[in-house]
Amino acid sequence: MTMMSRRAENFATLAANATEGVVRIIHGNTVFGLRAPIDLEVRDEGPYCLVEYEPLGLQGRGRDQEAALESFADQFWGMWEWIASADDPKLTQDARRLKRKMRGLVRSVTPAA
DSSP codes, 87-104: -GGGS-HHHHHHHHHHHH
- Condensed to tens digits (0 to 9), the pLDDT of residues 25-58 reads 988 888 899 999 999 999 998 899 999 999 999 9
pLDDT at 113 (0 to 100): 65
- Condensed to tens digits (0 to 9), the pLDDT of residues 77-106 reads 999 999 999 999 999 999 999 999 999 999
Prediction pTM value: 0.81
Domain ranges of the chain: 2-106
What is the number of alpha carbons within 13 Å of residue 14 lying toward its C-beta? 8
Phi, psi torsion values for 56, nearest 5 degrees:
-105, -5
pLDDT band at 76 (very low <50, low <70, confident <90, very high): very high
User: Is the model's pLDDT at 9 over the cut of 80?
Assistant: no
31, 78 contact by CB (below 8 A): no
CA distance 57 to 42: 14
Helix or strand (DSSP H, E) at 49: strand 48-53
**Percent of the chain, pLDDT > 90?**
65
